[in-house]
Amino acid sequence: MCTWSCILWSSALPIYCNYNYGEATKDLNVDLLNHPEYIEKNATLAFLVAIWRWMTPIKENQPSAHDVFIGNWKPTENDNLAKRVSGFGTTMNVLYGNLVCGKGNNETSMNNIIDYYLHYLDRIGVNPNEAGPHELLSCADQVPFNPSVALPP
């Protein structure tokens, strides 16, 4: 069962559930499944895991958040039907799925993430108005890529 309570924030990106620990364990060759606390104790590892999560698709036939962010990913017909468009909103869909996406425009976590994004754009000198229209920033109406429960074994 995956709820907000099993989400561990590692620097900027969340690792949630044993599924992620298991995949990270395989890819990074660090036993996070049995020792999730390593992430809290080792900043280098925390960043390694965050970058790994950003760069690695959750499933083979899906984009990574990075691919979506830089525009490498082209939505398929299925994605069009699922309202998954090329834009920031879909990076949230990749990383958080139904924890924040497809829950309408009043979803607090989704709106917090969008606000952080706009805040950091501003901090690095990018006018938040250039971030694109709200439909692209949001994933309010998107069908989640992955349900947070019952991720693949």
Ligand X SMILES: *[C@@H]1O[C@H](CO)[C@@H](O)[C@H](O)[C@H]1NC(C)=O
Binding residues for ligand X (CB under 6 A)? 30, 42, 44-45, 48, 104, 106
**Nearest approach, Cβ of residue 16 and ligand X (Å):** 20
Length of the chain: 153
**Nearest approach, Cβ of residue 53 and ligand X (Å):** 15
**Nearest approach, Cβ of residue 10 and ligand X (Å):** 12
Q: Does residue 31 sit in helix, strand or coil?
A: coil
CB of 33 or CB of 121, closer to ligand X: 33
CB of 24 or CB of 94, closer to ligand X: 24
Query: With left for phi above 0 and alpha for psi between -120 and 50, is residue 79 left, alpha or beta?
Result: alpha
**Nearest approach, Cβ of residue 56 and ligand X (Å):** 16
Q: Do 148 and 97 form a contact (C-beta atoms < 8 A)? A: yes
Q: CA 38, 43, 44: angle at the middle one, nearest 5?
A: 95
